[in-house]
Amino acid sequence: MIRIHHLGRSASERIVWLCEELGVSYELQHYTRDPVTMLSPPELKALHPLGAAPVIEDGDLMLAESAAIVEYIIVKHGGRRLMLGAEHADYANYLYWFHFSNGNLQPALARMVMLGRAKLPGDHPVQAALQGRFERVMALVDARLGEAPYLAGGEFTAADIMTVFSLTTMRLYQPADLAIYPNIRAYLQRIGERPAYRRAMAAGDPDLVPLLD
């Protein structure tokens, strides 16, 4: 059975959700953030040099990085469900949006979090540059979701699992008004209706009401 080392309110919710969608058995090991620093506790840092979640154990294997874990579980335990093969018409879209989350969306949000902590004046050029980047990234996601119900196209895939954390739980650390992104809001409502998503959030973060609007 896969053991998921889950840090509350973190990207490791992706792995819990994936296992629920695939019906893959897992054991959940919860960790709580330091209340002052909001960083990982020493027990999680002892598992991996970066002290970041998610980390999974599968037999003798210890694996970190959410994208790597998602792909590993899909291939090794999920019968390749929720990923699109090269023969699929939406294969390129799937690849793009699967990697877009950690390649563009999540970094844009993380930079905004750091910017807020730096308390730069509103007219600082760094503030303007990073805010502009964040807005372009969000607009691109919204535009895509105006073209298709899910990021890869007509069907739900692991690209969605990779992305939703950044649009929901990450907003605890970087508030973002979704009123100007109607397609993202409609998309999150569709996601919130998925039983596997509800089970995953209840298991991983039972004290958190998912930020779906």
Supply the pLDDT for residue 126.
84
Average pLDDT score over the chain: 94
Residues 132-179: pLDDT tens digits? 999 999 999 999 999 999 999 999 999 999 999 999 999 998 899 999
Residues 38-50: pLDDT tens digits? 778 889 989 988 8
Give residue 195's identity as a one-letter amino acid code.
P
**Rounded CA separation 28/204 (Å):** 8
Supply the pLDDT for residue 116.
79
* Stretch 106-133: mean pLDDT: 85
pLDDT band at 123 (very low <50, low <70, confident <90, very high): confident
Supply the pLDDT for residue 104.
97
Q: What element of type H or E holds 57?
A: strand 55-58
Model confidence, pTM? 0.95
Assess contact for 67 and 162: CB atoms under 8 A. Answer: yes
